[in-house]
A and B are shown apart, each in its own frame.
Chain A
Amino acid sequence: MLNQNANRQGVNRHTRNRALTGRVFNIQRYSIHDGEGIRTLVFLKGCPLACLWCSNPESQKAGPELGFIRSACKGDDGCDAPCVAACPEDAITLNVEGIPIIDRERCTACGECVEPCLEDALKIVGKQMSVAQVMDEVEKDRPFYRRSGGGMTLGGGDPLMQHQFSRALLEEAQDAGIHTALETGAYLPWDDFEPLLHHLDQLYVDLKHRDDAQHRKLTGQSNTLILSNLSRLLAVMDPKDVVIRLPLIPGCNDSTENILESARFVAEQGYKQIELMPYHTFGVSKYPQYGMEYPLAELAPQSAEDLARLRQLVGRFGLTEISAQA
Chain B
Amino acid sequence: MLHEVEVNEELAVEDRDMSGGPSTERMEKLRELYMSHSHTICSERSLLVTESFKSTESLPPVMRQALAFEKVLSEMPIWIQPGELIVANIASRPRGAFLFPEYDCSWIEPELDTISSRPTDPWNIAAEDKLAIVGCMSYWKDRNLKSLINGITPEVIKEFSMVTAFTLVDMAMEGGIGHLAPNIQDVIEIGLNGFIERAEEHISRLDLTRAEDRTKHQFLQAAIICDKAVIKWAGRFADLAREQAAAEQDPQRKAELEKIAEICEWVPANPARDFRDAVQVATMVMASVQIETNGVSIGTGRLDQCLLPYYRQDIEEGKLTVDEAVELMECMWLKFSESNRVVPEYVCSNFSGYPFWIQMPIGGKTPDGLDATNELSFLFLEVSSRMHVAEPTVSARVHNRTSEKFLIRCGEAVKSHGGGHPAMFNDEVIIPSQLANVPNMTAEDANDYSIIGCSEIAFAGRGTEGLAYQGVSGPRMFELMLANTNIWNGQPLDDGGDMLQWQNFDDVWAAYKVQAKQFARFAFTQALPLVEGHNTYRPSPYISSITRDCIGRGKGHYEGGAMYGNATLNACYIGIATLGDSMMALKKLVFDDKVLTISQLVHALDTNFEDETTAPTGPEIQSLCKRVPKYGNDVPEVDLIARECLDIIVKELRQYKTEFGAIYGTTVSPVTAHVGYGMLCGATPDGRKAGTPLSDSVSPTQGADVSGPTASAKSVSSLAHVNLVQGTIYNMKMHPASMNTKAGLRNWANLVRTYFDLGGWEMQFNIVDAETLKDALEHPEEHRNLVVRVVGYSAFFVELDRATQIDIIARTEHSF
- Interface set of A (CB-CB < 8 Å, partner B): 28-33, 37-38, 118, 140-141, 143-144, 146-148, 150, 323-326
Contacts and interface: CB of A to CB of B under 8 A. Distances in A.
A20 B163 CA distance: 59
B750 A38 contact: yes
Contacts of A29: 707-711
B132 interface: no
21 contacts: A28-B708, A29-B708, A30-B709, A32-B816, A38-B747, A38-B750, A38-B751, A38-B754, A140-B710, A140-B714, A141-B710, A141-B711, A143-B757, A144-B750, A144-B754, A147-B750, A147-B754, A147-B757, A148-B746, A148-B747, A326-B740
Given A38-B751, A324-B743, A30 B634 contact: no
Nearest to B620: A118
B21 interface: no
Contacts of B757: 143, 147
Given A37-B747, A38-B710, A143 B634 contact: no
A31 B751 contact: no
B241 to A, nearest CB: 51
Interface of B: 619-620, 622-623, 634, 707-711, 714, 737-738, 740-741, 743-744, 746-747, 750-751, 753-754, 757-758, 814, 816
B750 A30 contact: no
A181 B401 CA distance: 31
A46 B787 CA distance: 45
B710 A37 contact: no
A28 B747 CA distance: 15
Pick the most buried of B710, B754, B816: most chain A CB atoms within 10 A of its CB.
Answer: B710
B747 A32 contact: yes
A326 B753 CA distance: 24
Contacts of B743: 32, 324
B753 A30 contact: no
Contacts of A140: 634, 710-711, 714
A118 B623 contact: yes
Nearest to A29: B708
Contacts of A326: 740-741
Contacts of B622: 118
Contact of B710 (A30, A118, A323, A325): A30
Nearest to A149: B750
A323 B709 CA distance: 23
A146 B622 CA distance: 40
A38 B707 CA distance: 14
Contacts of A28: 708
Contacts of A31: 816
Contacts of A38: 710, 747, 750-751, 754
B758 to A, nearest CB: 6
B711 A33 contact: no
Nearest to A119: B623
Contacts of B710: 29-30, 38, 140-141, 144
Nearest to B624: A118
Nearest to A27: B707
A144 B708 CA distance: 13
Given A29-B708, A140-B634, 6 more contacts: A29-B707, A118-B619, A140-B714, A141-B711, A143-B757, A325-B737
Pick the most buried of A31, A32, A146: most chain B CB atoms within 10 A of its CB.
Answer: A32
Contacts of A146: 754
Contacts, number: 64
Contacts of A32: 738, 743-744, 747, 816
Contact of B751 (A30, A33, A323): A30
A37 B711 contact: no
A202 to B, nearest CB: 13
Chain B interface mostly: helix
B711 A148 contact: no
A69 to B, nearest CB: 14
Pick the most buried of B743, B757, B758: most chain A CB atoms within 10 A of its CB.
Answer: B743
B751 A144 contact: yes
A75 to B, nearest CB: 15
Contact of A147 (B738, B753, B814): B753
Pick the most buried of B622, B634, B738, B754: most chain A CB atoms within 10 A of its CB.
Answer: B754
A141 B738 CA distance: 18
Nearest to B711: A29
B816 A148 contact: no
A39 to B, nearest CB: 9
Contacts of A324: 741, 743
Nearest to B713: A144
Contacts of B753: 147
B728 to A, nearest CB: 19
A54 to B, nearest CB: 19
A143 B718 CA distance: 13
Pick the most buried of A30, A118, A148: most chain B CB atoms within 10 A of its CB.
Answer: A30
Nearest to A36: B743
7 closest Cβ pairs, A-B complex: A148-B750, A147-B750, A118-B623, A30-B708, A29-B708, A30-B710, A147-B754
Pick the most buried of B634, B741, B747, B751: most chain A CB atoms within 10 A of its CB.
Answer: B747
A143 B743 CA distance: 18
A71 to B, nearest CB: 15
B814 to A, nearest CB: 7
B762 to A, nearest CB: 18
A199 B425 CA distance: 39
A117 B518 CA distance: 42
Contacts of A148: 746-747, 750-751, 754
A324 B747 CA distance: 12
A186 B768 CA distance: 38
A144 B753 CA distance: 9
Nearest to B748: A32
B649 to A, nearest CB: 28
B735 to A, nearest CB: 11
Contacts of A141: 710-711, 714
A36 B740 CA distance: 16
Contacts of A30: 708-711, 751, 814, 816
A37 B619 CA distance: 43
A274 B753 CA distance: 31
B318 to A, nearest CB: 42
A324 B738 CA distance: 10
A33 B709 CA distance: 15
B758 A143 contact: yes
A33 B737 CA distance: 11
Contacts of B751: 30, 38, 144, 148
A239 B754 CA distance: 31
B717 to A, nearest CB: 9
Nearest to B757: A143
Nearest to A39: B747
Nearest to A146: B754
B632 to A, nearest CB: 12
A141 B623 CA distance: 29
Nearest to A143: B754
A145 to B, nearest CB: 9
A176 B185 CA distance: 52
B287 to A, nearest CB: 42
A274 B714 CA distance: 35
A37 B737 CA distance: 16
Nearest to B619: A118
A67 to B, nearest CB: 16
A117 to B, nearest CB: 9
A92 to B, nearest CB: 19
Nearest to B617: A118
A118 B618 CA distance: 11
Contacts of B708: 28-30
A128 B441 CA distance: 56
A178 to B, nearest CB: 14
Contacts of A150: 747
Nearest to B746: A148
Contacts of B816: 30-33
A324 B622 CA distance: 42
A146 B754 CA distance: 9
Nearest to A147: B750
